[in-house]
Amino acid sequence: MVKVALLIGVSEYEPGLNPLPAAVKDVEAMQQVLLHPEMGGFTETDIMVLKNPQRQDMEEAIENLFVHRQKDDLLVLFFSGHGIKDDTGRLFLATRTTRKTPRGDLIRSSAVAASVVHESMSRSRSKRQVVILDSCFSGAFAEGLSAKDDGSVNIREQLGGEGRAVLTSSSSTQYSFEQQGSDLSIYTRYLIEGITTGAADLDEDGVVSIDELHEYASRKVREIQPTMKPEIYTSREGFKIRLTKVPQGDPKQKYRKEVARYSNRGDVSFVGRKILDALRSRLGLSEIEATAIEDEMLAVARQEFRQKLQQYERDFTEALQQTVALSEDDLNALRQNLQQILGLRNEDTMPIEAQVKARIEAYKRHLQHYRQSLAKAMRQEYPLSQPTRHQLQQMQQEWQLKDEDLTAIENSLTADMEAYRQKLQQFEQAFIRAVQQEYPLSQTNHNQLWQQQQLLGLKAEDIHPITARITTEREAYQQKLQQYEQVITQAIEHQFPFTEEIREELRRYQHVLEIRDEEVARIEQKVVRQRETNKPQIRQSNTYEPPVAQSYSINIDADTFLEEVKADEFPTQFLSRRVTQVIPETKPVKTSKLPLYWIVPLIFVLAAGFLGLFVKQLRSPLVASPIFSNPLQTQNPANPAIEATPTPRSLANLSLGWVIKTNNDISLGNNQSLPRGTFLEVIEKKSNPNPASGSFLMSMRVCANKTTQTPANPNNPAVTPSVPPNSKPLPATVLLNSSQVNRFGVVLQSDVPNPCRTVTQPPPPVTEPSDTSPT
């Protein structure tokens, strides 16, 4: 019994087929396993290796592998490379020179047909034939991944037979992949791992059979790539073909075997961890040695799994960042395809999708905030100033916004702003035309302008400055028109038609006011028409009256006018220029006359009024008492024509001629007192030598009444003294201090009747009171 192996690896191809760098490395790794004395046990002379062969060399080597062999010989054919189907579905193994037509059809003469292998195997006497095909049938279709088929292939029909075992990486090429950056292809790597670690020895009999090797490699491949389905096609005899042995006596090798068995997707499960910890203690391995073995065994799987997650994240992010938002169905289809391609499950991709969506949403919010800030800045100033640019750059750096996104936003806002400005200019022109045709605007024009604003999509805060500015300009222009109308009205009233000199001065005035010619013509027509309408009719008379020469001035607001006129542009003498004109005598103004039936009653009313006043004056007594005079009505010394405001009568400002009335008894000494209700007239006022009893002294005349007792007045017989019983006669005058007056007196107003009014002659001399006078 001999062991013979043919190992073929094709990494280089003609244009039209993607290169497969791992194919040659697969052959080298398989060669080392088969040559290992404790595993494969093959000799170097019994192993033939072909790297990137031509078609003829490859066919000859296949034929020599199966020819002249014995029944118990173990024959192994390993192929790693492209597998291609023709248009009839026949399988071909690609060589270095395999080519395709411009239409993509296979040139069959440049590849080795599977039928050649089948015929060679059929002619061989060996009943232990093993064919391992790690082939891709259609080429690469994703970066970092290479497809190994483009349709299903009936391997059993084309290569199956008695005493044969055919192992394929996948029955369909769209599910077989090669990871870029890995030394070996996925399928070959786990074949090598199962043999070298002994993990493929499932029954632990020390031998790895074909069925055990397939089961181990298939399980590990599906952990990394669930969509891949490695297949085995055997007859009864080929199912238990023993391929290699398992190394014995090495505890590290035993631990590797168990690590490979209990690892999944680059990690060890909870149950597997407990088993490995117990095995490590039983084998006598240190924790450092066990960790090193695990890292060696799991590093590749972890790296691949991490790269697949990163690839899924990139592809999913790129899909969500498309300009057109993807529907939920599109996202589901993308998710399923990426999971199939990368061999990931929902539990692997869901955290990635959540992170990607959150990151994209945050990025979109930052872009929206940047857009709002940029739009606000552009509304305030455009072009943007350097400080504003600096603030926007800081915002970009803080949120890590891409330059291309910000450029697109700025271009979009600039285009929108230019379009919006054009709309504002369009509205402004419409508003100018409206106010030129009619001012103030009617409700109809207001409604039309509002409709145009809504149609253009303009904001009220944007059009308000425009309307305010135009309205202000229009009002200013209207004032200029009124000024010009006033000037030309005055000129027309005094001389029309105009002389050339006046015409020239009016034109210069028009130029200063910046009034249009059509407005000037309209104003002149209006003023002339009004003049013709209001022109006084010339009186026709037999006598001739010569015209009267009259001068007039054209009045112009010089302050306003000279602000806009330079000294060399307009003669200032025009402002005060007097024009002499001979005008006819104006018609006298008619005065209205009262009718006769109004005059007679009016005369009677006036006569009756004067008669009543005369009778009232006769009935009133003429009194020369100072009380009738108003001592408070004095003239203003600064301006005698203006009377000062009268000071109210009170005890604080008593004056000569004023009368007070006592509201209580006042003791005078010597068993004398002034009874309550006595009238006293001020006849003299002087300062008090004793300030404690008041600031001044007043000499007062006692006016007789029914309660007072005064001597008979020969000058006034009407006053009869009335002497109450048990009382002494009162003196004609008394001297009181200001405190007594303030305590017991009240000032009488000028219109209150009192006995002092009838006194017409001056009072008698004042007698000093006795020592018993009150203090």
Residues sharing a CB contact under 8 Å with residue 686, sequence separation 6 or more, in sequence order: 696, 697, 698, 699
Pair 582, 547: CB distance under 8 Å: yes
CA dist., res. 718 & res. 732, Å (int): 16
Sign, CA dihedral 180-185-190-196, equals negative
Q: Find the angle CA(174)-CA(139)-CA(15) to the nearest 5 degrees.
A: 165
What is the three-class DSSP state of 54?
coil
Count of CB atoms situated within 10 Å of the CB of 121: 22
Between strands 696-703 and 679-687, the pairing is antiparallel
User: Are the C-beta atoms of 121 and 159 separated by less than 8 Å?
Assistant: yes
- The C-alpha angle 538, 542, 545, rounded to 5 degrees, equals 65
The span from the CA of 112 to the CA of 94, in Å, is 6
Domain ranges for the chain, please list them.
Answer: 3-246, 307-376, 477-536+546-583, 627-758
Tell me how long the chain is: 775
With 0-12 CB in 10 A as exposed, 13-18 as middle and 19+ as buried, what is 388?
A: middle
Residues 51, 6 contacting (CB under 8 angstroms): no
Contact 667, 673 (CB under 8 A): yes
Beta bridge pairs of residue 407: none
CA distance 353 to 364: 16
Nearest CA to 719 out of 706, 730, 728, 729 is that of 706
Question: Which residues are registered as beta bridge partners of 80?
Answer: 9, 134
Q: What is the Rg, in whole angstroms, of the alpha carbon atoms belonging to the chain?
A: 66
User: Positive or negative CA dihedral for 676, 677, 678, 682?
Assistant: positive
Q: Domain 3-246 belongs to what architecture?
A: 3-Layer(aba) Sandwich (3.40)
Q: Is the dihedral of CA 399, 401, 407, 410 positive or negative?
A: negative
Contact partners, residue 69, CB within 8 Å, separation at least 6:
2, 4, 75, 124, 125, 126
Give the pTM.
0.45
Which residue is it, tokens 């308000």?
464
Residue type, 612: G
- In the numeric block, which tokens belong to residue 160? 């199956």
Only one residue has tokens 């168990």, namely 258
Q: Within a 13 Å sphere around the CA of 126, how many CA atoms are in the beta-carbon half?
A: 26
Q: Is 107 helix (H, G, I), strand (E, B) or coil?
A: coil
Helices (H) and strands (E) in the chain, counts: 20, 24
DSSP secondary structure string for all residues of 441-465:
PPHHHHHHHHHHHHHHT--HHHHHH
Angle, to 10 degrees, between the axis of helix 114-123 and the axis of helix 55-66?
20
Question: For residue 153, with 0-12 CB atoms within 10 Å meaning exposed, 13-18 middle and 19 or more buried, which class applies?
Answer: buried
Q: What's the token pair of residue 282?
A: 């039983």
Query: CB within 8 A of 667, min separation 6: which ones?
Result: 673, 774
* Residue 3, helix vs strand vs coil: strand
Bridge partner residues of 4 (DSSP): 75
Cis ω for the linkage preceding 571 (within 30 of 0): no
Q: Return the bridge partners of 218, or none.
A: none
Q: Rounded CA gap, 211 and 304, in Å?
A: 26
Cα separation, 718 vs 146, in Å, equals 151
DSSP 570: S
Q: How far apart are CA 298 and CA 269, in angstroms?
A: 12
What pLDDT is attached to residue 26? 93
Distance in angstroms (rounded) separating the CA atoms of residues 669 and 673 = 7
Alpha carbons 121 and 95: distance in angstroms, whole number: 20
Q: Are 728 and 674 in contact (CB under 8 A)?
A: no
Residue 377, φ and ψ in degrees, nearest 5: -65, -40
Helix (H) or strand (E) holding 134, with range, is strand 128-136
Pairing of strands 112-113, 128-136: unpaired
DSSP state of 561: H
DSSP 621-634: -----GGGS-TT--
Extract the tokens encoding 501. Answer: 């000199």
Angle at 647 between CA 646 and CA 650, to 5 degrees: 140
User: Which string of b and e fits 421-433 if b means at least 16 CB within 10 Å?
Assistant: eebbeebeeebee
Q: For residues 666 and 673, is the Cβ–Cβ distance under 8 A?
A: yes
State the first-to-last Cα distance of the chain, in angstroms, to the nearest integer: 169
* Series of mean pLDDT values for 10-residue runs along the chain (775 residues): 92 87 92 90 93 94 93 92 83 90 88 89 89 64 34 53 76 51 81 87 85 89 77 70 79 79 78 86 84 81 81 86 75 83 82 88 90 88 87 91 90 88 90 86 90 90 89 88 88 83 88 88 87 63 44 43 42 39 46 56 71 61 38 43 52 77 77 81 80 72 63 44 52 78 70 64 46 39
- pLDDT for the residue numbered 697: 80
Q: What angle do CA 122, 124, 125 make, to 5 degrees?
A: 115
